[in-house]
Amino acid sequence: FIYFFYPEVSKIDDRHLLELVSKTIDQNNPREWYYALMDYGVMLKKTIGNLNRRSRHYQKQSRFAGSDRQIRGELLRLLLDNTSVPETKIGSMLNRQQQRCIRLVENLCREGLVERKEGRVQLAP
């Protein structure tokens, strides 16, 4: 969207981009539309560079190793491999601090990705 609709603009507000997304998204196949958009973005990045830096809201991501993002991924992978896991064992199963894992479970619950049931954590349906 930045490349075609805002070729000369820097510091583009995400609101403008979201308006374009809502007008162009394939309502019947949003997943396929999103995959195609991501593939196209990869191609543009290889040929032109990272256009996201022109967004007013762009922030460079923090290191991945040891980050909450990494542990969230590990936690989701653990839940994909197991129907459910005891909440009290998550830290030891991931070889991470239990308190940090519980905080991340709480975040994932608020986001609707996982749920707690009878002392266990599982992926949300």
Pairing of strands 120-123, 114-117: antiparallel
Domain assignments of the chain as residue spans, ordered by start: 2-54, 68-123
Alpha helices in 48-97 (DSSP H): 68-81, 90-94
Q: Got the DSSP string for 36-59?
A: HHHHHHHHHHHHT--GGGGBTT--
Question: Model confidence over 23-65: pLDDT tens digits?
Answer: 999 999 899 998 999 898 899 889 987 777 777 777 777 788 8
CATH number for 68-123: choose from 3.40.50.1110, 1.10.10.10, 3.90.1170.20, 3.40.50.970.
1.10.10.10
Question: Is the whole model's pTM more than 0.75, yes or no?
Answer: no
